[in-house]
Amino acid sequence: HSKPNTMPHARNEGIPLDLAWVERSVVNLPAVKRRAETFKAKRSVKMQWQAAWLLRAVTLTDLTTLSGDDTETNVERLCFKAKSPVRQDILRDLHMEDKHITTGAVCVYPSRVAEAVRYLEGTGIPVASVAAGFPAGQTPLRIRLLEIEDAVQAGAKEIDIVITRAHVLNGDWKALYDETVAMRKACGDSKLKTILATGELGTLTNVYKASLVCMMAGADTIKTSTGKEGVNATLEVAFTMVRAIRDYYEVTGFKVGFKPAGGIRAAKDALVWLALMKDELGDEWTKPDLFRLGASALLVDIERQLYHHTTGRYAAAHQIPMS
């Protein structure tokens, strides 16, 4: 029942830093705000289509635990949930019990990677790890690169790194590019997801420029947030980042993934994110190799909504196992 974690598209090899492209980029803030407001108001998916989209959202979820009190026990529980994210009776009612639905990945701190790899053995579910001085990114680069290499050696197939926000705030795009190139090299064959920590970058123009520079440096995916900032994944930021992905693809032919993270808890939010990807980038960007949702509480609400869809009533809290 394993599903290979392959990237069906050519990997983003990156391009030389194009400072002229970066410097001339400007985001029209009022236009982005207007697009975000109207988008949320008019996009909705109903009935059986909603159930299908919610099941897709499950397969896109990076099921995450990033707490100071993480232990092997809750990593084991998380991996169990990743392997079987939706109750079997619900899947039977939806005629989906033979589709081997799992989450997109399990995301943990580097020290917990080996345990997660062990518990997910044979499932094909990749282990992702935050590294490079997560969440602040204020550790010396040498140590951050070592942390990436350690996580990869322990079996992490995806690395969610944090960028140095100061490079963006100072407009030092070469430093951001060089740092990301070094991190991509440290990842080897593992997927590089660069967390921009957009809530700390000041402006949407900075968000766009940072997105471009990370993609030029070879990022496989760009991610909004650590989930630890005051402001996490917003639609304004999303439109800015996915437009950067589209622009980069049109110029280079390389497809780069997107991962919003932080504050995504409700099933209806997952539907909005999916609709956004379909609208802005097309169907290919609604699949796990190019789109992920960073979340820990989201699965519980998706399961509640699917339970309601199949039974006509809402589940009591004790009927939906915790993730």
The number of C-alpha atoms within 13 Å of 272 and in the hemisphere containing its C-beta is: 20
Catalytic choice (220, 259, 269, 289): 259
Q: Count Cβ atoms within 10 A of the Cβ of residue 253 and give its class: 0-12 exposed, 13-18 middle, 19 or more buried.
A: exposed
160 and 195 in contact (C-beta within 8 Å)?
A: yes
Count of positions (residues) in the chain: 323
* CA pair distance 152, 186, nearest whole angstrom: 8
**Are 36 and 217 a contacting pair, CB within 8 Å?**
no
Active site residue 46: no
Three-class DSSP category at 108: strand
CA 298 to chain centre: 13
- Running DSSP on this structure, what letter comes out for residue 314? P
Q: Which residues of 276-310 are buried (b: 16+ CB within 10 A; e: fewer)?
A: bbbebbeeebbebbbbbbbbbebbbbbbbbbbebb
SS3 162: strand
- Are the C-beta atoms of residues 221 and 259 closer than 8 Å to each other? yes
Identify the active-site residue in 220, 223, 255, 301.
Answer: 223
User: Active-site residue among 62, 160, 269, 289?
Assistant: 160
Q: Is 160 a catalytic residue?
A: yes
Catalytic annotation on 42?
A: no
Asked if 81 and 321 touch (Cβ cutoff 8 Å), the reply is: yes
User: Beta strands of 25-166 (E only): which ranges?
Assistant: 61-64, 105-108, 127-131, 158-162
Residues marked as catalytic: 160, 223, 259
